[in-house]
Amino acid sequence: MLAQTKTTAHPRVLCVSSYFLEHGGGVENVAHELAQHFAKVMQWPTTLAAHTTGETPNTPATGYQRFALQCWNGIEAATGLPVIIPNPFHVFGLLRRLRDFDLVMVHEEIYISNFLVIIWSLLTGMPLVVVKHTGIVPLKNHPALHWLLLGVTRFISRPLLRRAARTVFVTKAKRDNYDPEHSIKNALVIPNGIDTDCFHLPEPAAPPREGIVFVGRFVESKGLAILRHLTGTLADIPFTLIGWGPENPDDWGYENTTVILKPARATIAQILRQSRLALVPSNGEGIPLVAMEALSCGTATMLGTGSDGTENTISDQLIYVHADLTQPEQAAALWADKIREVLAVEDDPEAQAARHDAVEAGHSRTAMCRAYADIVRDILKARGPLAG
């Protein structure tokens, strides 16, 4: 991108994410949705920078441009920990191009490239928005790394985020977990938005729902150990496990378990519509994106009680069960009893419609994108007039 005369009427926005949409995952999807909205709806020249381990993905027919950061993610592939080692020449090239933009929006500061973009934006006075999709993940199996992350968060990340123009948390629970003293005064909460055109109710003539579905990464923080005990205990119930990670549930050897690795989002939505119950056996995350996607499909959804059960209007549509990740066998016994109880009651179309309507009313993709666009406007208005 060649340097151009900057304008606040059509600000040039740089979005920085972990990976592109094709990688799958909630962060990647939200970053894509926002970049697409800025480019197509707001008519703002937008570039999305993200990591890739293969060929540079083609620019999608969505209006925004892509800047690929080649990387090595062997640590993440082996352990599930989000340690991405970027190509330093590509990172340097991205930093050099920051002056060509009017505002930078970074999704998560925990990645090396993202962290460097934040540092450089603050040093150069570039308007900066940081979007926090996670709180502090308890890495019980990696205590040294857990305490290291706590130290980095307290003494480095939080002070940096206080200097950003805005810090956005996707749930109140994540904000409280990451910054319990609310020392980041520029922070606000914008719930992730759901594409209700994709995640919709089943057709009236659709066959009855059956089975249980899980969608997420196959890592400890997502309750994988609880799922392993559940699929073995509830051998008469079919499970569909959708995701990716260092552990493959196919290795568990349970005949009632079907594993699908990284399908298209339309396929995920179809499986949710066909399933009787969706499980999110993690905790401390508020109401994650996948839970709202399941509700939008009308699917009964069971969530760990470590999440905030009073966060918003869709909390009443969720089934909360205690999920102690440190005691997966005992937690699985509680979940198994609750699952039997839920499946014993008929799930009528009115209940399914109520779940979808709750998401549609307060958590649509359009509402999310408009909220972020308003943030960009507000920040740039403080720096000069903004036409339109």
- % the chain with pLDDT above 90: 67
Give the pLDDT mean for 305-316. 64
Q: Determine the CATH number of domain 13-193+364-381.
A: 3.40.50.2000
Q: How confident is the model at residue 312 (pLDDT cuts 50, 70, 90)?
A: low
Give the pLDDT mean for 43-68. 84
Q: Cα separation of 177 and 168, whole Å?
A: 14
Give the pLDDT mean for 50-75. 82
In this structure, of 26-30, 75-79, 221-225, 291-295, the range with the lowest mean pLDDT score is 75-79
**Hey, which residues does 166 pair with through a beta bridge?**
129
Q: Which parts of the chain fold into alpha helices (H)?
A: 26-36, 74-79, 88-96, 112-124, 143-152, 158-163, 172-178, 224-233, 265-274, 289-296, 328-343, 349-362, 365-381
Higher per-residue confidence, 191 vs 337? 337
Q: How confident is the model at residue 387 (pLDDT cuts 50, 70, 90)?
A: very low
Mean pLDDT of the chain, nearest integer: 89
Residue 140: pLDDT over 80: no
Residue-wise pLDDT tens digits, 322-332:
888 889 999 99
| Domain coordinates in residue numbering, the chain | 13-193+364-381, 212-362
Q: How confident is the model at residue 305 (pLDDT cuts 50, 70, 90)?
A: confident
Q: Which two tokens stand for residue 39?
A: 């480019």
Higher per-residue confidence, 338 vs 1? 338
pLDDT at position 285: 65
Q: How confident is the model at residue 145 (pLDDT cuts 50, 70, 90)?
A: low
pLDDT at position 148: 72
Residue-wise pLDDT tens digits, 79-113:
777 789 999 999 999 999 999 999 999 999 989 99
Q: How confident is the model at residue 139 (pLDDT cuts 50, 70, 90)?
A: low
Q: Cα separation of 28 and 19, whole Å?
A: 6
pLDDT at position 61: 62
Tokens 């039997």 belong to 340
Higher per-residue confidence, 120 vs 7? 120
Hey, do 13-193+364-381 and 212-362 end up sharing a CATH topology, with the first three levels equal? yes
Residue 290: pLDDT over 90: yes
Higher per-residue confidence, 8 vs 316? 316
pLDDT at position 388: 36
Amino acid at 23: H
Residue 273: pLDDT over 90: yes
Give the residue among 338, 367, 384 at the shortest CA–CA distance from 34: 367
Residue 386: pLDDT over 50: no
Is beta strand 65-72 parallel, antiparallel or unpaired with respect to 85-86? antiparallel
Give the residue among 121, 170, 156 at the shortest CA–CA distance from 16: 121
CATH of the domain spanning 212-362, picked from 3.40.50.2300, 3.60.20.10, 3.40.50.150, 3.40.50.2000? 3.40.50.2000
Q: What is the DSSP string of 110-126?
A: -SHHHHHHHHHHHHHT-
Residue-wise pLDDT tens digits, 36-52:
999 999 999 999 999 99
Residue 141: pLDDT over 70: no
